[in-house]
Amino acid sequence: MEYIPQILFLVMLIVGFGLFGKSAMRIRRNILLGRDVDRSDNSSKRISTTLKVAFGQSKMVVRPIAGLLHIVIYVGFLLINIEVLEIVIDGIFGTHRVFAPMLGGLYSVAISFFEILAVLVVIACIAFLWRRNVMKIGRFHSTEMKGWPFKDANYILIIEIILMGALLIMNATEANFPDDHRVAGPFLISGLIAPIFSGISYETLVIIERVAWWGHIIGILFFLNYLPFSKHFHIMLAFPNVYYSNLKPKGQFDNLESVKKEVELMMDPNADPYAAQPEADPNAVPQRFGAKDVQDLSWVQLMNAYSCTECGRCTSSCPASITGKKLSPRKIMMDTRDRLEDVGAIIDLNKGTFVDDGKSLLHDHITPEELWACTSCNACTEACPINIDPLSIIIDLRRYLVMEESSMPTELATVMSNIENNGAPWQFAQADRANWVTEE
């Protein structure tokens, strides 16, 4: 009977981390469905960018109010987990505040600091809830945010408030323990709210403290397993997403390897066009020009989709969206993630094999109207706090429309026809191109 709490705690811990690991591996498998792309270059710049953008939150503070509130939650998340480590050790070994004897007076200082952070996190979460639900800031109420995306944001904020509340209640009840039963404390914030629990018997205080203690760790494990099904999985992916982000100058497009190979065959008089078909696999499907479905995108683009926290800074900065066009860069990322989840579910259902469901990212999730509304200005990539690149997905989908489906706006078709026939976008013969320099 003596070891039952530790056994239950250990089982809960193993199950909680096991389920999270399973979900994380599923997401990793989905991300790796994308094409391979080399982002191992310039490691020093990648590290400095990660330290500045992900760790330093440099792009968050461009909007000072939201940036400051986010930094409070971010710092709280990082530092309060030190106390969670103590809870885990106590749960496994049956100890109570195992760090207190080691740290002496510093322990009370550390826990008091964590409590201040906990209060600030609660204030920040309430402020975010107010901004979303009372102030109703526009970028949180656009079409793609209806239903689950909007509720998800509220749920995560409420969970964080509950977790911080359980932490403070746990400490406040212990502050009322008799001196010979209290390992440490009272602490700064919990000492102020401890009078709420005064006059309660020691036995009842112990029950409340244990309920708060177990509630806090169970809540953390629930939160951990909620993340893979929430937009807040960016907590796990923000750092690698920034590290592997595109370091090239904005506006510099990559050349398609599939197009390059076709051009090389056309330019080489000695080339054998049939050599493009691998002898080892005569049924191999040639690589698509551009992207139709998520498997045609790169793994970095798919990681971008899972990293998106749906903050809407990209869409609120997009000139096409601002002027009433259908395009929303945030929706592009959300649609990519939704389609990738559908593809992953099909693979799971068919024991590791994807079976075509007759749907694709292009057309079924993202329409050509959205794609052609994009001006390629890169405002969305500049605005993203973790360097997500919606434009790269838009460009790849548009490439497929043009090169595979010969589908494009009339104006663009006219320009391309002129380039093909006249060598210039304008509708006059090449012989007349220099007429503008002729003196009359």
Residue 354 belongs to a domain = yes
Is 70 exceeded by the pLDDT of residue 439? no
pLDDT digits (tens, 9 = 90+) for 355-381: 999 999 999 999 999 999 999 999 999
Indicate if the pLDDT at residue 1 is higher than 80. no
- Do 338 and 279 belong together in one domain? yes
Q: Is the pLDDT of residue 428 over 80?
A: no
The percent of residues above 90 in pLDDT, for the chain, comes to: 74
pLDDT interval class at 280 (50, 70, 90): very low
Residues 221 and 265 in one domain: no
More confident residue, 117 or 186: 117
pLDDT(105) > 60: yes
pLDDT at 263: 79
Between 175 and 273, the higher pLDDT residue: 175
Q: What is the pLDDT of residues 182-211, one digit of tens each?
A: 888 789 999 999 999 988 999 999 999 999
Residue at 252 is within a domain = no
CA distances from residue 318 to 11, 138, 361 in whole angstroms, order as listed = 48, 14, 21
How far apart are the C-alpha atoms of 385 and 363, rounded to whole Å? 28
What average pLDDT does the segment 35-49 reach?
94
Residue 113 is assigned to a structural domain of this protein? yes
In SS3 terms, the chain reads as CCCHHHHHHHHHHHHHHHHHHHHHHHHHHHHCCCECCCCCCCHHHHHHHHHHHHHCCCCHHHCHHHHHHHHHHHHHHHHHHHHHHHHHHHHHHCCCCCCHHHHCHHHHHHHHHHHHHHHHHHHHHHHHHHHHHCCCCHHHCCHHHCCHHHHHHHHHHHHHHHHHHHHHHHHHHHCCCCHHHCCCCCCHHHHHHHHHHCCCCHHHHHHHHHHHHHHHHHHHHHHHHHHHHCHHHHHHHHHHHHHCCCCCCCCCCCCCHHHHHHHHHHHCCCCCHHHHCCCCCCCCCCCCCCCCCHHHCEHHHHHHHHHCCCCCHHHHHCHHHHCCCCCCHHHHHHHHHHHHHHHHHHHHHCCCCCCCCCCCHHHHCECHHHHHCCCCCCHHHHHCCCCCCHHHHHHHHHHHHHHCCCCCCHHHHHHHHHHHHHCCCCCCCHHHCCHHHCCC
Number of domains, the chain: 2
Single out the residue in 214, 243, 272 at which a domain terminates: 243
Phi and psi of 309, rounded to 5°? -100, 10
The closest of 198, 174, 245 to 387, measured between CA atoms, is 245
What CATH number did the domain enclosing 27 receive?
1.20.950
The residue among 243, 267, 290 that closes a domain is: 243
* Averaged confidence pLDDT in the chain: 90
**Same domain as 234, residue 274:** no
Q: Are residues 191 and 262 in the same domain?
A: no
14 pLDDT above the threshold of 90: yes
pLDDT value at 229 more than 70: yes
Rg (CA), the chain: 28
Residues 170 and 230 in one domain: yes
Q: Which two tokens stand for residue 191?
A: 């000492």
Looking at the structure, do residues 110 and 209 belong to the same domain, yes or no? yes
Q: Do 187 and 281 lie in a common domain? A: no
Token pair recorded at residue 120 = 């600030």
Is 330 exposed, middle or buried, given 0-12, 13-18 or 19+ CB atoms closer than 10 A? Answer: buried
Note whether 186 and 232 are same-domain residues: yes
What does the block give as tokens for 113? 């600091």
Cβ(315)–Cβ(331) under 8 Å? yes
Same domain, 291 and 335: yes
User: What is the domain range of residue 189?
Assistant: 4-31+63-243
Residue 233 covered by a domain: yes
Confidence band, pLDDT 50/70/90 cuts, at residue 424: confident
Q: Is the pLDDT of residue 286 over 70?
A: no
* Residues 406 and 349 both lie in one domain: yes
pLDDT at position 15 is 97
Q: Note whether 297 and 35 are within 8 A (CB).
A: yes
pLDDT of 283 strictly over 60: no
Whether the per-residue pLDDT at 314 is higher than 50: the answer is: yes
Whether 428 is covered by a domain: the verdict is no
Is residue 250 assigned to a domain?
A: no
Is the domain of 220 the same as that of 356? no
User: Is 329 among the domain residues?
Assistant: yes
Last residue of a domain, which of 243, 272, 296?
A: 243
Give the Cα separation of 314 and 380 in Å (integer). Answer: 4
CA-to-CA dists, residue 409 to 369, 433, 439, angstroms: 9, 25, 37
* CATH classification of the domain holding 417: 1.10.1060
Give me the mean pLDDT over the 198-227 stretch.
Answer: 94
User: Domain for residue 57, yes or no?
Assistant: no
Amino acid found at 129: L
Same domain, 412 and 268: yes
- 362 in Cβ contact with 293 (< 8 Å): yes
Q: What is the pLDDT of residues 251-268, one digit of tens each?
A: 888 888 778 777 777 787
pLDDT attached to residue 246: 93
Q: Would you state the structure tokens that stand for residue 416, as one six-digit string?
A: 């391309």
What is residue 285's predicted lDDT score, i.e. its pLDDT?
Answer: 57
